[in-house]
């Protein structure tokens, strides 16, 4: 029979050893319609302000930046974008890491092959995007991705929020 004092000691140990359980924030973000005044597939209008206020920490890596000039290092495959590194995100991976590390990273990739066709590219795999961001960002940094799939985290990442964007 285990006495109460021993049991309390075990419970204390378990509490100390377990990683903190973070309940993901699932609050919806009301962002309005996409703003395609600068290029197609632009952010929903109020999205970027919300991301920056809630999660952005500089220096920030911005993948698939499109027309945006926000972020210390910005990647896009098109020259006529706001990117300061132009190329396929996988091909420029080394350069991304060389210019890091970053405290946060954000990606707005094409979500499906249909969207990717507009840029003449193969639809990027979410797991490849998460891998690059994980490598580029410091421990306890923040990674964000705007996607229509609900993405599973890859190893080493912890979900702190899933915001349905309307
Ligand atoms: C959804 S749009 C981003 C729009 C951006 N958030 C904005 O508001 O302007 C996706 C972007 O990904 C870029 N892109 C597509 N495939 C890419 C790839 N393999 N590597 C880098 N950029 C890519 C496209 O050129 C496009 O600008």
pLDDT one-digit tens code per residue, 86-121 = 999 999 999 999 999 999 999 999 999 999 999 999
25 alpha carbon – ligand 1 mean position (Å): 27
Two structure tokens written together for 121: 């590219």
7-66 pLDDT tens trace: 676 666 655 555 556 789 999 999 998 888 888 888 999 999 999 999 999 999 999 999
Please state the atom number of ligand 1 nearest to the C-alpha of residue 91.
20
- Counting residues of the chain whose pLDDT is more than 70, the rounded percentage is 90
Residue closest by Cα to atom 12 of ligand 1: 64
Nearest to 48 by CA among 34, 59, 28: 34
Nearest to 71 by CA among 81, 80, 79: 81
* Ligand 1 pocket residues where CB is under 6 Å: 38-39, 41-43, 64, 66-68, 75-78, 81, 88-89, 108-110, 119, 121, 124
For residue 23, the model assigns a pLDDT of 86
Two structure tokens written together for 124: 């990027």
Q: What does the buried/exposed string (b/e) look like for 3-31 if buried means 16 or more CB atoms within 10 Å of the residue's CB? A: eeeeeeeeeeeeeeeeeeeeeeeeeeeeb
pTM, rounded to two decimals: 0.88
Test site for ligand 1: of 110, 122, 128, most ligand atoms within 8 A of the Cβ: 110
Higher pLDDT, 131 or 21: 131
| pLDDT exceeds cutoff 90 at 165 | yes
| pLDDT exceeds cutoff 80 at 80 | yes
22 alpha carbon – ligand 1 mean position (Å): 31
For residue 11, the model assigns a pLDDT of 62
Nearest to 64 by CA among 55, 77, 54: 77
């Amino acid at each position: 029979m285990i006495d109460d004092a021993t049991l309390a000691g075990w419970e204390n140990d378990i509490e100390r050893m377990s990683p903190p359980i973070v309940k993901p924030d699932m609050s919806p973000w009301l962002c309005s319609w996409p703003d395609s005044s600068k290029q197609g597939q632009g952010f929903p209008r109020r999205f970027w302000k919300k991301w920056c206020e809630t999660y952005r920490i500089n220096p920030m890596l911005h993948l698939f930046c499109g027309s945006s000039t926000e972020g210390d290092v910005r990647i896009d495959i098109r020259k006529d974008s706001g990117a300061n590194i132009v190329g396929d995100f996988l091909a420029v991976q080394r350069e991304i890491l060389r210019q890091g590390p970053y405290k946060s990273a954000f990606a707005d990739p094409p979500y499906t092959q249909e969207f990717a066709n507009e840029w003449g590219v193969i639809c990027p795999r979410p797991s490849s995007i998460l891998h690059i961001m994980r490598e580029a960002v410091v421990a306890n940094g923040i990674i964000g991705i705007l996607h229509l799939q609900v993405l599973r985290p890859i190893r080493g990442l912890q979900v702190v929020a899933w915001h349905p964007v309307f």
